[in-house]
Structure formats: structure tokens, C-alpha cells
Structure 1
Amino acid sequence: MQIQPPVSSHLKLHSNSHNVSRIHYIFISDVRLYIFLIYLKQIIPNTSLENLGTDHFAHMSGHLKRVKRDWVIPPLNLPENDRGPFPKYIVKIKTSKDSNVEINYRITGPGADEPPVGLFTIDRRSGVLQVTQLLDREQRDKYKLWVHAIHAHDGNKAEEPMELIIHIVDMNDNRPEFTPSSFYGQISESARAGDSVMRVMATDRDDPETDHAMIKYRILSQSPEVPSDYIFAINPLSGVISLTGGGLDRETHSEYYLVIHAADMNGEGLSATCTVTITITDSNDNAPQFLIKSASASVPENEAGAEVIRLKVTDEDELGSANTNTKYSIIKGNEGAHFKISTSPDKMEGILSTAKKLDFESTSVFTLLIIVTNEAPFTRPVSTSTATITVTVEDKNEPPMFSPSRIQVALSEDAPIGSSVTYLRAVDPDTARTTKIRYVFYILNADAAGWFNLDQDTGRVSVRSDLDRESHFVRDNMYTVPVLAYDNDTAPATGTGTLIVTLVDVNDNAPVIQQRRVSVCNVDPVPVQLDIVDSDSPENAAPFTVELQGEHSKSWNIKVNASGTTLDQLILPIFNVQWEGGSFIVLSFAVLLLLLILRRRKKHMDHVALLKDPSRDNIFCYDEEGGGEEDRDFDPSLLHRGLNERHEVLCSDVVPVNQTRPSYRHHPQPNEDIGHFLTENLVAADGDSTAPPYDSLLVFDYEGAGSEAESLSSLDSSSDSELDQDFGALQDWGPRFSRLADMYTEGMEDDNDTLPGKTEWV
């Protein structure tokens, strides 16, 4: 048995035991595996040497493990960065069959006929494997080749292809690298010893299973070296930087700079460095301080929300952070909650202002103690800052105040002119001032009805003119007058009050019947109910006494029923009109304009027929001459406007009943223009309906002959002659008299289209 290539100087083969032992230490470029071709030669007749196989021995192994094969090549280990010369011999490959026949060798795979092509070559005849250039483990750490044995004469394979694995053995040819080359970290200034800051990391491209990539770290330098030159430490294996002790102060040193060293081979090999910037972050370890510890300020009284003073502060902590954002409290002198303090938008000022109106007469000076702190809690015990503020209240002219603000009095509506109503009283709260109070109505027409006078100096309110509880100025029996009280200060102040006069009713209004026109049938007539109203209060109204005046009581009865209603006292003209099934009586109130009924008489007519109307089946009453269709849309109430202004019907022969007498002023007011006094009494006299001659409505029941007013028509209705009148002129009176003209135009003789020829009075 023999070994190829010979390494007998390193190993010894024991032929009896077949063991291999080490003669001395073997070190060939860190190759840890050794390849031997071992041949076993037995002296046996008729036999020859036979290649029995290849054995793979692990480094320092004491026993041989044999695998029987035709040819086996164990993995090869080649060092990287071997600089040649090239091509460089690696190993010789030989098959047992090349003793009988000629064998050619070739290799395939990456590094042979695949990229990188030609890195490895093999001699076709000898089987010597060579490397042609420098190897780099960091580019490729293993190559897998296939070795082929081929018959030279026919190209057929002599053996099955054999796998050959080549390992590239690492060399320490790469130094550690920091990525990135600069690191940044931060730590609070209130951090304690042992707190981690950050971690740095370097990498090595060498084999991580070897010491070539085993990196250790250390700090080369620290700047600044305060409070000590070793305030930071680094873990040599992990690269974690931590704090070795306290004492950081951002306000003194806000940044530290470290230089970190990293070396492989456990710190003894190749090395690299990087810089580390550590920022010290702020913590609230400083209390804000008032720039002014004591100050005085003044503020006008009666102004809520008025700014008193601004208090500036300073803080050594980081500006704009919660550690410098301030908040303020009034800890003394604000027991009445008269003041409040807020923070300015930049959080570096305290704004003191009034929370409510101050009263100079109550308290003129306030002494406030104010403390300032931060929004963030303090990280260590600190001394807070306080300021003392003296606030002086400035006196301001305050308006007089009515007490009570609503002055209520009761007064009869027939109170005589000049009588006293009440005295207004207002008090000036400015006790330190000497002022005089005057009184006026709130605005020029505050006394809308003009019923009262007000003495500016004494505040006496008196009756100026007749009162009327039923006036539209009165609401719920109350008449309201706003009043003012002002002082005579250089800048007068005005207070307001309200005078409420409750008018007590007197019986100064006559009852009024609401219905102005009623209709009743003369066949089985039903009593008509008339409603009576009285503008006076209930105690001066019902029960009512009603009666018919004059000779109307002969034909009509009137009485008050249980509900307090009555038949009105009326002059009742009755038209007896024939109707199928009976007659219909129309009762009409006397109106301002009399109805002019023109008729065309027929000889010896005892009964007359109704005028046919295309759209109505009742009596059509024309309120003015002419008639026609236009008259149907006319509002007769317009003719009664003057009459309807009064609430009762007047008769010419009766003195008006319960009419309100106008008020006459007997004496002018002081300093009043005499012309205004005379004009006012003249107007009152013109409206006096009770003064004779009685200005009442004269009701004419009949226009014909014998009437006191004689005839109101140019047509003599009393004439018996049909030729007494010339009706041709009616054609010239316009379309409104066309109907009348048609009736009296010569040649129209229709018994059914005539007006009544006789008015029957009952």
C-alpha cells in the first residue's frame, strides 16, 4: 500500500493494523482535509496490484474508514487569494482502468465549461487538475465539478462521471465595515446609569464561522469629556452604547460625539472606525421664572374680561416643548373669583384679566399672588416662581339705578289733569361723587298717548291729558312708559326704568249693538238676537237695560234674554214683498245715504211683481242711482264709513245717549304756547257730539210728497201722470244708469219688470 502524493514525512501507515498516524503537525495553507490514494498490495500468487479505492481521513482522525469504489475523489480545499504561479497544480485524478487502455480525462460544470469558464483545467492524458487564476471566497465559496473518464480510441466513457467538490478556504482579507458610517442617537438628560442609548453594528464579509469575522467594539474617544471622559460605554460584542453614570445636562452640553473602533479576529485583526452623535433630549428639570416678581396695574370698574397685565416668564428648558409651555394659577387674593389668568399663544406669558365686573365702591384694591408651572411634570424637585400683582380699580361714572326698575302704579282713567301719579326715584351708586339726578322719558314719544308730564328735577309724574283705558295704547289695562335717570357728571351716565300705569276703569263707554242689519220673515217670524258689547270693564258693562225709542215700541217688542243679548233700538222700515209661500221682511239700519227708489206706476195696481234679475232671486237694493251689474260688486260699507265710526245709530229727534264727552283743558301748561292750547280745545269742541244742535244722522224713511226733506230726486215720484217727467235724459247719465233708463224709456211696458209702486209702512 502506498500514498500518492507522498506525504510520508507527515503521516505513517501501519501495514499490519492499517492505521494511519501523524508523525508531526501538518499545516498547508489551512487545509484541514487530506487526500490520499492508498494501494493495498497482497503477495498472492497469480494476482496483481488492484486499486481498491480512496479513503477520506478527517484531520486528527485516528481511524481509517474505507469505502470500496472504482474511483472516488474526496472534496478538495483550496485557499483563496493564492497568487500562483498559475496554472497551479491541485491534484492528479487517475482511474484504475487506465492500466489496460488509454483513458482521456475532462471536467464539466461551473468553473470549467460554465462561467467562470476556464477557472479549472485538467490534463487530458495525465488527469492533473489545475487552477488558472486567483480564487475569492467572497465571490464563490464552493465549486462542484464533474470528472469524466473516456476511452481514447472510441470516446465512450470508461467510468461513470465522478463529482468533485472544491471548497474555497477563507483568508482574513476583509476588514469590518460600518453601515452607515455615521450613527445618531439620543437620550434624555434625566437618564440614569445603565440606560441604553443606541447600538452600532459592523459587518465582515469573511467566513462568519471563523475568527476572520469575529468583531469586537470599543470607544476610542468622547467629546466633550464632561462630566467625565467615560460617561458612555459600549458592549464589545453587541455594540450597544449605554450610559455609565448620570449628570447629563442638556442646557450645558446638548450633544456628545464618540469614535467607535471595530476589529475582527476578536479585536486583534483588521479594523474600522465610525462616528456616533448622541443628542441629549430635554426633560423638565427647570422651572419657569417670572421676569418681574412684583407689579402694579389698574383696571376700570364694571368691565368684565378687561386685560389687567401680562406677566412674562423665562425657562431654560427647550423652547416650544411641553417643558417650557407654562400655566398659571392665582393662589391668593382671588377669593371672590374676580380675576382669571390665561396663557398667551406662545406659552411664555400669563394674561391677567377680570372675570367679572369690579365695583370701585365695594373694593378698590386687590393684591394677587400668582404662581407659574409647566404643562409637563418636573423630573426632579425644583423651586417654582411666584409674582405679586397689586390691582387698583379705577372709579367710573355709573348710571343711576331705579329701585325697583319697574315702577307700577294704579290710576283711575278719569283722574283729573294735573293730578300726581307717582314720584320716580333713582339712586347713584357712585358714593364718592357728588352728582344730581334728572329724569326724562326714554325717547321723545315714549309717552305715546301724551297723557303724562315728568318733572326733570323732582321726578314727579302728573296727568297731562284725559286718560282712556280703552285706548289702543293700553294693553291689559296697563300703559307702559320707559323712563331715564341721568346724572350731571362731565360724562353723564344714564339708567333706565319702566313706569307701568294700571288704569282703573270708569263707565265712560255706552253699550254697542254689533249687528247692523237683520232680516226676518213676516210669516211665523222668529225673534232676532242682537249682541251687545261694551268697551268698559265687566264691572261697568252687563247687565244692560234696553228699550225702543220713540213710537217704535208700538210695532216691536224688545227684551234682554238670559245670555245678556237684546233687540236693538232701531228705526225699522219694512218692505212687504209678495213671495210664494209668504212674505219676507227686510229690516235695515238707517244709512248715511238714503236709498232712492224710482218707480214707474201702473194705474190701479194693487200688487206688483218683482223685477226679474238673471242671477238673483231676491230683492236687489241699489245703494246709488243707476244700478246695473257693476253695482253688485260695490261694497256698500264704504258709504257708511262715517256712520260706522260710531258704534250706535243716532236719531234726529233724540239726544245722543252715553256719548263720551271731550276733554277741555281749562288752563295752559307752564311755558306752553297759547296758540297750541287754543287749537287743542277747538279740536275737542268740534268733536263734541253732545253739544247742541245735535249732530246726529237724519234718517229719511220716505222721499215722496209730504216728506220733511221734500224730494231728493229730480223725478217727482208723487205725480200721477206718466208724462210729468222726461226720462230721455237718463240715457246721457252713463252706463251706471242704463238699467234705470231702460225701465223708464218710452215704449217699455212689462208688467213683470217694474219696481214697487207703493211702500207700505208698518
Structure 2
Amino acid sequence: MNTHVDPRFYYLGPFKDSTTVKISIEDVDEPPIFSRSSYLFEAQEDTDMGTIIGTVMARDPDAASSPTRFTLDRHTDLDRIFNIHSGNGSIYTAKPLDRELSQWHNLSVIATEINNPKQTTHAPVFIKILDINDNAPQFAMFYDTFVCENARAGQLIQTISAIDKDEPPGGQKFFFSLAAVNPNFTVQDNEDNTARILTRRNGFNRHDISTYLLPVVISDNDYPIQSSTGTLTIRVCACDIQGNMQSCNAEALLLPAGLSTGALIAILLCIIILLVIVVLFAALKRQRKKEPLILSKEDIRDNIVSYNDEGGGEEDTQAFDIGTLRNPGAIEDKKLRRDIIPDTLLLPHRTAAVPDNTDVRDFINQRLKEHDVDPTAPPYDSLATYAYEGNDSIAESLSSLESAATEGDQNYDYLKEWGPRFNKLAEMYGGGESDKDC
């Protein structure tokens, strides 16, 4: 278009014209729009299941005005306490509500176009749970209460208070009283949510009664009125002049000073454990097989050895066994002890043979020296048995020539008392008078 007009044609003007332009705007599909940016609802904790808490609304801004479907984001309602109507957006309870468990519930509602499920919108919904008086008051803490044995009537022994999980609009107000009349204690309400426990008589004896149980009734002023009964445990204790507790157990009088019941129990347990250990040790030691001090007769191997010893007569045959003393060639190998650990393991050696003309005393002395220097010999508490009959026994002469008395001086009458087997000897030596006549 040439916007510059030739001046020669100005007289023909003006030069202008008009036209109509039509612009068409294409529709773009948009997600639903909620009526509010967020929603706040309230519900009492005693609301029945299925009660509608509130309703959310959303519409499709497009010309097509597609219908909308509502759902709850379950990530914000893991316990599934609430549900929502998919058509009209009504939110209702699916489980009982408890303010003491959760005072607020923060949900997320999703609006989705039915014709185009990709078009969705989220809106936050806040639900506040209103409190009702459904909890009874109770003791604010555990009270370790005691009364002195020398307490006087009207003496304060404990101040108590209470708490309530509920939050009444007018504030909490508690009342204290006894469940039944008690001859020993009473409760005085301070009207400030506290109360005092007082004695009603003089003197207490822990040997008679060591513990008292005092039921206390606590109630509130909300509607409906809730109340509970708490039991206060009161111990009877020995106190000093200032009222400070010294001991509360009746058996403490029998215990030594400085030792508690736990300490005595620990001492007794230690003693019992020591006794068990001693008994087990003794039993194991008794079961252990001991080494024999002297070998049995089956292990003895006799050798014929020539020796010059007259012996002790016929009645001394049991005094010793010469075969055991003189066993140079068949000595049994040393046995290792099973009850001790040897320091070194030495090979047993054989004892040198003893000549036949060796005296028994020399033989025993030689064996004794060998055992003294032998490192594999039994310890000092083992017994090695030897027998020796002595030496230089003087033998009397059997000659009748050296006899100081004659045959006639001998009296053999006692032979008659020896029985029939000795009658012949009695006749030979007991002749008596007949011999004299000869």
C-alpha cells in the first residue's frame, strides 16, 4: 500500500474507505475450577459415621462444560477416615472421629473432567475436630505418698491435682472427694483443681498395717459430667523429728545397718553359687579315677634270684614278697600320670641288673637312689613299699653238748595235753619214774 499521495491529485480527494474484519477465537480445553481456593470444615468428635462434613464445588470453564468427578487423594487420608461423593463433592465420615488422636485433618480433593481425564485440579480441605467432654479427669502424676508413724490428726501428707484430655470452652474445673468415708484419712478440696490429703487420727504402726489404699473420686464441670476414681497408695514410714522419711519397710528393723534387702539377696545368691561350685568340684574329684599305689598281683612277674637271706621263719612268710623286691629284668615301664600334665615326655629306662650276690639291703638302697633321681617317678604323695627283715640275727647252737640242762631236768608232761596226735611223744619223753628206775 502506497501511503504517499501525489500532490497533483489532491483536488480529487479525499481518498478513504472502510471494511469489516471478523476474528474467530478457538476454544482450548482447561481443567476444572473450584469455587474456592481452599475449604475449611468443622466436625465434632462424636459425629456418627456417614455424616456429611461439607461440600466442595468445581466447574468446567470451557464452553462444552464437561461434567466433573471428585475424588480424595488417599496419600492425605491414609486411615481412610473420610469419603467424598464423586458426583456432588460431599465429604462425609467413614470412621469415628477422635480429637485426642488428631485435632486436624488436612485433605486434598481432586476434580477431574469426565470427558478428558487428563484435566485435573487439586484443592486443599481442612477439617477441624471439635472437642466434646468424653474423657474423665485423672491424677496428674503418680504420687509416692507416705505417712509418718508419729503423725498427728489433721496433718498434711500429700497435695494432689488432676488433668483432663478434653478442653471445655469454660476451662477445666475439677472436684475431689472420697469414694467412701475413711477413718484414717480425708480429702480437702482447695477449689483450684488441687486437693489436700489429711490424717484423721494420731499415730500409725507399720507393723500392723504398712500400706493404706485411699480411693479418690475426681469429676469435672462440663456436660456430660465425667468422673473417675483414682487410688492413692499411702505407706506408713518411720520419720525423724522434722518428718523426713527414714524407712518404710517393716522388715527393715531386722536388717543390719547399711544393708538393704537387695544387698542381702545379692549376698545370699553369691553364697549359693559358691556352694554349688564347691559341690560340683567335689563330685568331679570323686569321680576321677585314682592311680593305684601298688600294682595288682596280676601285674607282678616273679623272677628266680639267688640271695643270701635266712628269712624270719615259717610264720613270717607274709612279711614281704622277695620276688617283687628283686625284679631287675622285668620291671614294668613307667606309666604316665593321668591326673597331671607332664612337663616333658621322657622315655622310660630300664634298671641295670643286680648281681646274684648282692645283699637285699644294697638292692633296696640302690632302688631308692634310682627313684630319687628319676624325673618320671611318681610325686611325693605316692607310696613306694619296700620290706627289709634286718641282719646279724644270732643263731643259737643246736648241739646237745652245749646244753646247760640234762634231759632228765626237762618236764615234758605238757605233751599229754596236746591231744592224741602227740601221745607217742608223750610216751617217749613223759616216762618220768620209769626212766629213773632204769
TM-score past 0.5 threshold:
no
Decide which structure has greater helix share. Answer: 2
- Give the number of the structure whose alpha-carbon radius of gyration is greater: 1
Quick one: higher RCO (CA 8 Å, sep 6+), 1 or 2?
2
Decide which structure has greater strand share. Answer: 1
